[in-house]
Amino acid sequence: MNFCPNCGAPIEFRVPEGDDRKRNICSATGEIFYDNPRNVVGTLVERDGRMLMCRREIEPRRHFWTLPAGFLELGETSAGGAARETLEEAGVQVRAPRLFNLIDVTHIGQIHMFFIAEMVGDHYAPGQESNDVRFFAEDEIAWPQLAFPSIHRTLERYFADRAGGHFGVHVESLAAADWHAMALDRRPRDVG
Amino acid sequence: MNFCPNCGAPIEFRVPEGDDRKRNICSATGEIFYDNPRNVVGTLVERDGRMLMCRREIEPRRHFWTLPAGFLELGETSAGGAARETLEEAGVQVRAPRLFNLIDVTHIGQIHMFFIAEMVGDHYAPGQESNDVRFFAEDEIAWPQLAFPSIHRTLERYFADRAGGHFGVHVESLAAADWHAMALDRRPRDVG
């Protein structure tokens, strides 16, 4: 951040009085601009025991597989945003979303929230950010071909809870080391 | 937003290609600046059956009562941020935070998350954003003197769950109308 988005004056990066960390501060007016974590919201949708997944058409991780998810927008609820993303990316309408997993991904300043939701109707089709939409059985999932570690972790938890007969609400965090430890493939390949 | 924070060029507020809502876009480089909901994190801490609460020393709602809470910072977990705010505002160290209530406050673009946590030691003292810290029994809480409706709602849920003998994990939303319906006082007064 170099210029004040309000008045265009140069920005200073320093600790404001009474604060304990550096902030972007307008050199003309003293206004402080805070940078905070952003929320990514998505769904876990089953049909006949198989999981709805999308193949990404956009970077990062283009052509890797993901649960439908994206950034929460102003004015929507977290569950509502998850439903919107599912419609946009997979063409699937859902109902009754309930929180399943909340993951603090601190090294990239994000919270990822996944909601278990029910599919309404039979329609599915890739949206403009996907190039394929499929339903995978647990043993069909190509784990190293997943787009992001939060997807990996959430699917693991989902199948574990499903096997146990009860879906809980989970809160966890993923650090940079956890991401690397999952050893996701660097290149996409055909699956299934 | 009037000026690009990167290069200082004028900002255009329009719908980018392939998007469905207006964004702030740099007129020189085309860079898009997204505005997303922010997270407020706080705790519910009991001592001898009484709730830890702080009287705000800062606006908005200066001199009204709140649970310790504040904006989640980059690089911290939601539970970690809630613990930090509790130490900063109430001087109370906590452990073992677990998610209790997540509230989408859509009309102000925020998510409020409250964690039940255990007090470590006996120390408590107002921080620089509080001018009083006290522990209230359920029947001592001056409901119209609460700072924000999300505090009101979260305390209601907490006491209901406590009476029922089980703390769940709740997800709900509060709209502008809900805030007004709570009829919080417009002026602070002495309580307790």
What is the fold of B1-35? Ubiquitin Ligase Nedd4; Chain: W; (2.20.70)
Contact yes or no for B73 and A21 at CB 8 A: yes
- What's the CA gap between B141 and B135, in Å, rounded? 10
pLDDT band at A178 (very low <50, low <70, confident <90, very high): confident
Tell me how far CA of residue B80 lies from CA of A6, A151, A171, B40, in angstroms.
32, 22, 12, 12
Nearest to A169 among B24, B76, B99 (CB): B99
Per-domain residue ranges for chain A? 1-35, 38-183
Identify the three-state secondary structure at position A68: coil
Say if strands B170-174 and B65-66 run parallel, antiparallel, or are unpaired: unpaired
Helix (H) or strand (E) holding B93: strand B93-105
Sheet architecture: strand order including A23-26: A11-14, A23-26, A32-33
Give the pLDDT confidence score for residue A183 in this predicted structure: 84
Would you say residue A131 has pLDDT above 90?
yes
CATH node for B38-183: 3.90.79.10
pTM: 0.95
Tokens for A190, please give them. Answer: 């055909």
- What's the CA gap between A43 and A134, in Å, rounded? 14
Give the pLDDT confidence score for residue B79 in this predicted structure: 98
Nearest to A38 among B18, B36, B107 (CB): B36
Cis peptide preceding B60, ω within 30 of 0? yes
DSSP state letter for A10? B
Tokens for B32, please give them. Answer: 């898009």
Contact yes or no for A74 and B35 at CB 8 A: yes
- Start-to-end CA span in chain B (Å): 44
A128 reaches B (C-beta below 8 A): yes
pLDDT band at A72 (very low <50, low <70, confident <90, very high): very high
- What's the CA gap between B105 and B14, in Å, rounded? 25
For the segment A3-17, the average pLDDT, to the nearest whole number, is 96
Identify the three-state secondary structure at position B130: strand
- What's the CA gap between A154 and A82, in Å, rounded? 14
Give the pLDDT confidence score for residue A29 in this predicted structure: 96
Give the pLDDT confidence score for residue B134 in this predicted structure: 98
- What's the CA gap between B14 and B21, in Å, rounded? 8
Cis peptide preceding A60, ω within 30 of 0? yes
Backbone torsions φ then ψ of A167, nearest 5 degrees? -95, 115
Give the closest-approach CA distance of B140 to chain A in angstroms: 32
Q: Tens digits of per-residue pLDDT, A82-126?
A: 999 999 999 999 999 999 999 999 999 999 999 999 999 999 999
Give the pLDDT confidence score for residue B183 in this predicted structure: 85
Q: Tens digits of per-residue pLDDT, B105-136?
A: 999 999 999 999 999 999 999 999 999 999 99
Pick the more confident residue, A113 or A179. A113
For the residues of B24-80, what is the DSSP string, one character each?
A: EEETTT--EE----EEEEEEEEEETTEEEEEEE-SSSSTTSEE-SEEEPPTTS-HHH
A48 reaches B (C-beta below 8 A): no
Number of CB atoms found within 10 A of residue B115's CB: 25
Contact yes or no for A1 and B4 at CB 8 A: no
Give the pLDDT confidence score for residue A179 in this predicted structure: 78
- What's the CA gap between A50 and A92, in Å, rounded? 14
Contact yes or no for B104 and A5 at CB 8 A: no
Mean pLDDT of chain A: 96
Tokens for B45, please give them. Answer: 């801490």
pLDDT band at B179 (very low <50, low <70, confident <90, very high): confident
Tokens for B140, please give them. Answer: 């001592």
Task: List Cβ neighbours of A45 (8 Å cut-off, separation of 6 or more).
Answer: A51, A52, A68, A86, A90, A92, A94, A116, A117, A118, A119
Would you say residue A182 has pLDDT above 90?
no
**Chain B environment of A109 (Cβ under 8 Å):** 74-75
**Chain B environment of A74 (Cβ under 8 Å):** 35-37, 109
A13 reaches B (C-beta below 8 A): no
Contact yes or no for B73 and A36 at CB 8 A: yes
DSSP-assigned beta bridge partners for residue B79? none
Give the pLDDT confidence score for residue A61 in this predicted structure: 94
- What's the CA gap between B62 and A29, in Å, rounded? 24
Residues 49 to 68 of B: which have CB under 8 A from any A CB? none
- What's the CA gap between B95 and A118, in Å, rounded? 36
Backbone torsions φ then ψ of B9, nearest 5 degrees? -70, 160
Q: Which of B27, B71, B77 to mutate to test the interface with A (most CBs of A within 10 A)?
A: B77
- What's the CA gap between B150 and B140, in Å, rounded? 18
Contact yes or no for B3 and A1 at CB 8 A: no
Residues 16 to 35 of B: which have CB under 8 A from any A CB? 18, 21, 24, 33-35
**Chain A environment of B104 (Cβ under 8 Å):** 76-80
Contact yes or no for A77 and B18 at CB 8 A: no
- What's the CA gap between A53 and B111, in Å, rounded? 27
Contact yes or no for B5 and A3 at CB 8 A: yes
- What's the CA gap between A144 and A96, in Å, rounded? 30
Contact yes or no for A73 and B169 at CB 8 A: no
